[in-house]
Chain A
Amino acid sequence: MRKLRRTRKQRRMRMQRLAVFSVLAGLLLLTALFAEQLCPYDPYMQDYGSVLSAPSPAHPFGTDRFGRDMLSRVIAGARTSIFSTLVLVGIISVSGTAAGVLCAYFGKWTDAVVMRIADVCLAFPGLVFALAVSAVLGGGTGTAVIALAAVSWPKYARLARSRTLEIMSSDYLAAARLAGDAPGQMIVRHILPNIAGQILVTAVLDMGTMMMELSALSFLGLGARIPTAEWGSMMSGGRSMLQTYPWVVLAPGSAIFVTVAVFNLFGDALRDCLEP
Chain B
Amino acid sequence: MKRVKPVLEVRDLTVRFTQRDTAVDGVSFQLYPGEILGIAGESGSGKSTVARAVTRLIDAASGEIFLKGAPITHVTGKRQRAVYRDIQMVFQSPAGSFDPRKTLGDGIGESLGNTGMKRSEVRERVGELLRQCGLGEEFAGKYAREVSGGQCQRAAIARALAIRPDILVCDEAVNALDVTVQKQIIEVLKDLQQEYGMSYLFISHDLALMQSFCDRLLIMQKGKIVEEGTADEVILHPKKEYTKRLMEAAFLFG
Question: Given A171-B91, A174-B57, A174-B91 in contact, is the A179-B111 Cβ separation under 8 Å?
Answer: yes
Give Cα distance in the complex from A172 to B81, angstroms: 16
How would residues 176 to 200 of chain A score, 1 for a CB under 8 Å from any chain B CB and 0 otherwise?
1111111001000110011000000
Give Cα distance in the complex from A193 to B102, angstroms: 9
In the assembled complex, B18 has its CB within 8 A of some CB on chain A: no
In the assembled complex, B47 has its CB within 8 A of some CB on chain A: no
How would residues 139 to 169 of chain B score, 1 for a CB under 8 Å from any chain A CB and 0 otherwise?
0000000000000000010011000000000
Flag if A179 contacts B110 (CB, 8 Å). yes
How would residues 82 to 117 of chain B score, 1 for a CB under 8 Å from any chain A CB and 0 otherwise?
001101110111001111111000010011001100
In the assembled complex, A1 has its CB within 8 A of some CB on chain B: no
In the assembled complex, B243 has its CB within 8 A of some CB on chain A: no
In the assembled complex, B55 has its CB within 8 A of some CB on chain A: yes
Give Cα distance in the complex from A253 to B139, angstroms: 52
- Closest chain A residue to B107, Cβ basis: A175
The distance from the CB of A93 to the nearest CB of chain B, in whole angstroms, is 18
The distance from the CB of B201 to the nearest CB of chain A, in whole angstroms, is 14
Q: State the majority secondary structure of interface residues on A.
A: helix
How many positions in chain B have a CB within 8 Å of any CB in the partner chain? 27
Flag if A171 contacts B96 (CB, 8 Å). yes
- Closest chain A residue to B88, Cβ basis: A178
Q: Name the A residues within 8 Å of B88 (CB-CB).
A: 178
Q: Name the A residues within 8 Å of B55 (CB-CB).
A: 174, 178
**Size range of the chain A interface in the assembly:** 10 to 19
Q: Name the B residues within 8 Å of A172 (CB-CB).
A: 96-100, 107
Q: Name the B residues within 8 Å of A244 (CB-CB).
A: none
Q: Name the A residues within 8 Å of B115 (CB-CB).
A: 180
Q: Name the B residues within 8 Å of A180 (CB-CB).
A: 81, 84-85, 111, 114-115
Which one of B84, B87, B93 lies within 8 Å of A171 (CB-CB)?
B93
Mark B residues whose CB is within 8 Å of A: 52, 55, 57, 81, 84-85, 87-89, 91-93, 96-102, 107, 110-111, 114-115, 156, 159-160
Mark A residues whose CB is within 8 Å of B: 170-172, 174-182, 185, 189-190, 193-194
